[in-house]
A and B are shown apart, each in its own frame.
Chain A
Amino acid sequence: MNKTPEQINQDLLRPIYHASWRFYATAAVLAGFVVAAFFAWGYQMYYGLGVSGLNRPVFWAFYITNFVFWIGISHAGTLISAILRVCNAGWRRPVTRCAEAITVFSLSIAGFFPLIHLGRPWLFFWLIPYPSERGIWPQFRSPLLWDFFAINTYLIGSVTFLLLPTFPDFALIRDRASGWRKKVYGIVSLGWRGTPKQWHRLEMAMRIMAVAIIPVAVSVHTIVSWDFAMAPVPGWHSTIFGPYFVAGAIFSGIAALIVAMALLRKLLHLEEYLKPIHFDNLGKLLLVMSLLWFYFVFAERLTTWYGNFSGEMPVFWATQVGRFSPLFWTMVFCNFIIPAPILAIKKLRNRVGWTVVASIPIIVGMWLERFLIIVPSLSYKYLPYSFGTYRPTWVEIVITVGTFAGMGLLYLIFSRVFPIISIWELKLGATKSEVAELAAQKAPAKQPQGG
């Protein structure tokens, strides 16, 4: 990095001051989709869930698929950036913030789906264990309640984790800005002056958060897997689900991160910050997760087939050769056969374009995986008399598309309000100095020299 701190400031703060008409056009289109999704949701609330494709016996489908998918994507950030922080991997610096932002946004989107999915969403607060005069508590044995706590903990944790290291950057904007920006960023930087004490506290808080958030993230997706594994439904009642879901979540999370980074790099001209080395390193991680994913799927299928339990075999055959097999094999292609060779070859992994080519199928494949866990199992549940099937309606499709647009929109806005790369951390990396060095400098908010 042969950039002076001033150049870094200019490069990374540019998106905050300048927006082209393209930005507004894209934002408007995405917002249109989001509005459509809210309209569809309102329509569903007005008439009832009958407007979705759900039926008996497939009581869960698109909404829960999206829920699990988005929670999975959310593992991109917190987990990756926490692990990389704990390992003190130097190359992480430009990556962490855009990863953490993915976490916060996809988690918020995921949080909508249990609500969209409820028969009477306006009563969702009955899940909250609030003391009521009737003395009615929620059912603590229900995995859905565990979910409720897990998601809230994770959301609070990852928002903190995202916001903690932004104060120095906000303060930087505050110090350089004038007018309304100075006021707004003055408030959100919470009086950051860059005193040694503040730096120490920040670093301490970041270390604690990075260590604490890893078990939270792992437990969240394990609990999501228990939504399924705790019910005696063929194909769900499996001990492998916890680790399988966590691995799958990290897998889809890294893929989403690579795509997001490639887009940012192009759109915000960050080629000099997000370098092929970052994609290469993430690509290696992705390759490991792809292999792990394949191993889990194989282990899960083999035990089902070998066990030959009469309740499970219809589900097994429906996904391997039956009605759901086109989706199943597409998933295998997307998650393993396409990305694994690309990522295994160093020449390809080195190129940003190729890592994106490997990542996009993974996002598709992981969505399919969630769908395939839910719908076939419910379609073929024990009694042939009540086997059924499922077809989504426009309501579910519009809502699903709307959440993808919502993700894009939130991210777009984020990249305009926050420096998408953590400026002070980058400079820290550039000077190879540690916090002590930053702290040694006098307040207020002087940037470390180097480059």
Chain B
Amino acid sequence: MGHRWGMVIDEDRCTGCEACVAACHAENNIAIAGDDQAGRGRAKHWIRVERYYEGDFPDIKVKYRPVLCQQCSDAPCEPVCPTYASYQNDEGLNAQVYNRCIGTRYCANACPYTVRFFNFYNPVWDKPLDLQFNPDVSLRSVGIMEKCTFCIQRIKTAEINAKAEKRPLKDGEFNPACVQSCPAGAMVFGDLNDPESRVSRLSKSNRGTTFLEELGTHPKVVYLKRDSWHNEQNA
């Protein structure tokens, strides 16, 4: 059986520090929008930390929810793309072929999670950020959509290395940048098809929910709810 990459995010552990956001920017060569463009709603963060407030001041609870592409199994963004730039690869990832994108932006409208980003201008980096590009990731030009791919460059590297050494991939052998950088260990990445992996055990937790479940997109990102953590048997 092939891999089916997925992620579990424990909201109980997320502190909203946004280390994942910074790590993602560095890993994936995400352009800096600048204040003016960000003010127009054009900031690009492939992962963002949404804040939700519960209760009234001063008795208020804040809830953090890191939101990235949910890698939907039934992704609404895929069938609407007229050029096949957005498609599902055989490991269940929602891949985006930057070179094939002509910028209809239909996928971004169809995505209910608003996690697709359009390049309104050619990308720019303030100095000295232009000296630290990741050579494994392409720079995306003006006029196309981009999004989180679970750091597909890391997935591919790990797969190629394992194949060269003629061994199966070990669980936890590699991680996307956001998972690697999370100080609280709130994010777990791995193969959902491997019943022994941490991610597939955690994803079966009774705290598990998926985002906007009622839309039937069947995401491969599972959120562990915050409130009822004492009920859960330790996975």
Contact indicator A119/B109 (Cβ below 8 Å): no
List the one stretch of A100-108, A252-260, A378-386 in contact with chain B.
A378-386
Chain B residues whose C-beta falls within 8 Å of the C-beta of A56 in the assembled complex: 41-42, 108, 114, 117-118
A176 to B37, CA, bound (A): 63
A143 to B78, CA, bound (A): 12
A381 to B77, CA, bound (A): 14
Complex interface bits, B128-169 against A, C-beta within 8 A gives 1, otherwise 0: 000000000000001111000000000000000000000000
The 10 A-B residue pairs with the shortest CB-CB distance in the complex, in nearest-first order: A119-B103, A119-B143, A50-B120, A55-B41, A59-B105, A48-B142, A141-B79, A386-B114, A142-B82, A120-B143
Provided the pairs A59-B109, A118-B104, A231-B109 are in contact, do residues A136 and B120 lie with their beta carbons within 8 angstroms? no
* A-B residue pairs in contact (CB < 8 Å), sample of 24: A54-B105, A54-B118, A55-B42, A55-B120, A57-B109, A60-B105, A114-B104, A117-B104, A119-B101, A120-B103, A127-B83, A136-B84, A136-B100, A138-B83, A139-B83, A144-B80, A144-B82, A145-B82, A231-B76, A231-B80, A233-B112, A381-B109, A381-B114, A383-B113
8 A Cβ contacts from A113-137 to B: 114, 117-121, 123-124, 126-127, 136-137
Choice from B100, B112, B118 contacting A126 with Cβ under 8 Å: B100
Chain B residues whose C-beta falls within 8 Å of the C-beta of A141 in the assembled complex: 79-80
Chain B residues whose C-beta falls within 8 Å of the C-beta of A47 in the assembled complex: 121
Choice from A48, A137, A144, A231 contacting B121 with Cβ under 8 Å: A48
Contact indicator B50/A383 (Cβ below 8 Å): yes
Contact indicator B102/A142 (Cβ below 8 Å): no
Complex interface bits, B182-203 against A, C-beta within 8 A gives 1, otherwise 0: 0000000000000000000000
Contact indicator A142/B37 (Cβ below 8 Å): no
Nearest residue in A to B84 (C-beta to C-beta)? A139
Contact indicator A57/B143 (Cβ below 8 Å): no
Min CB distance B73 to A, Å, is 15
Contact indicator A119/B144 (Cβ below 8 Å): yes
Q: Please classify how large the interface on chain B is, using the bins under 10, 10 to 19, 20 to 34, 35 or more.
A: 35 or more
Contact indicator A139/B110 (Cβ below 8 Å): no
| Interface assignment of B122: CB less than 8 Å from any CB of chain A | yes
Complex interface bits, B71-114 against A, C-beta within 8 A gives 1, otherwise 0: 00000100111111000000000000000111111101110111
| Interface assignment of B215: CB less than 8 Å from any CB of chain A | yes
Min CB distance A209 to B, Å, is 29
Chain A residues whose C-beta falls within 8 Å of the C-beta of B84 in the assembled complex: 136-139
A145 to B108, CA, bound (A): 17
| Interface assignment of A148: CB less than 8 Å from any CB of chain B | yes
| Interface assignment of A230: CB less than 8 Å from any CB of chain B | yes
Chain A residues whose C-beta falls within 8 Å of the C-beta of B100 in the assembled complex: 126, 136
| Interface assignment of B62: CB less than 8 Å from any CB of chain A | no
Interface of A is mostly: loop
Min CB distance A124 to B, Å, is 7
Min CB distance B197 to A, Å, is 29
8 A Cβ contacts from A139-188 to B: 139, 141-145, 148
A-B contact count (CB 8 A): 135
8 A Cβ contacts from A382-417 to B: 382-383, 385-386, 388
A120 to B144, CA, bound (A): 7
Chain B residues whose C-beta falls within 8 Å of the C-beta of A381 in the assembled complex: 109, 112, 114
Nearest residue in B to A58 (C-beta to C-beta)? B41
Chain A residues whose C-beta falls within 8 Å of the C-beta of B112 in the assembled complex: 232-233, 381-383
Choice from A119, A121, A143 contacting B80 with Cβ under 8 Å: A143
Nearest residue in A to B115 (C-beta to C-beta)? A386
Complex interface bits, A52-85 against B, C-beta within 8 A gives 1, otherwise 0: 0011111110000000000000000000000000
Chain B residues whose C-beta falls within 8 Å of the C-beta of A120 in the assembled complex: 101-103, 142-144
| Interface assignment of B40: CB less than 8 Å from any CB of chain A | yes
Complex interface bits, B215-234 against A, C-beta within 8 A gives 1, otherwise 0: 10000000000000000000
| Interface assignment of A292: CB less than 8 Å from any CB of chain B | no
| Interface assignment of A49: CB less than 8 Å from any CB of chain B | yes
Contact indicator B109/A233 (Cβ below 8 Å): yes
Choice from B82, B109, B118, B142 contacting A138 with Cβ under 8 Å: B82
| Interface assignment of B180: CB less than 8 Å from any CB of chain A | no
| Interface assignment of B119: CB less than 8 Å from any CB of chain A | yes
Complex interface bits, B44-57 against A, C-beta within 8 A gives 1, otherwise 0: 00000011100000
Nearest residue in B to A386 (C-beta to C-beta)? B114
| Interface assignment of B212: CB less than 8 Å from any CB of chain A | yes
Provided the pairs A142-B80, A232-B215 are in contact, do residues A60 and B109 lie with their beta carbons within 8 angstroms? yes
Contact indicator B81/A59 (Cβ below 8 Å): no
Nearest residue in B to A228 (C-beta to C-beta)? B109
Contact indicator A144/B103 (Cβ below 8 Å): no
Chain A residues whose C-beta falls within 8 Å of the C-beta of B82 in the assembled complex: 126-127, 138-139, 142, 144-145, 148
Contact indicator B41/A388 (Cβ below 8 Å): yes
Contact indicator A233/B79 (Cβ below 8 Å): no
Contact indicator B118/A59 (Cβ below 8 Å): yes
Contact indicator A119/B41 (Cβ below 8 Å): no
A114 to B145, CA, bound (A): 16
Nearest residue in A to B215 (C-beta to C-beta)? A232
A232 to B76, CA, bound (A): 7
Choice from B106, B119, B145, B212 contacting A48 with Cβ under 8 Å: B119
Contact indicator A119/B105 (Cβ below 8 Å): yes
Contact indicator A118/B114 (Cβ below 8 Å): no
Choice from A48, A54, A231 contacting B110 with Cβ under 8 Å: A231
Chain A residues whose C-beta falls within 8 Å of the C-beta of B144 in the assembled complex: 119-120
A136 to B104, CA, bound (A): 18
Nearest residue in A to B86 (C-beta to C-beta)? A139
A227 to B104, CA, bound (A): 12
Contact indicator B110/A118 (Cβ below 8 Å): no
Contact indicator A126/B102 (Cβ below 8 Å): yes
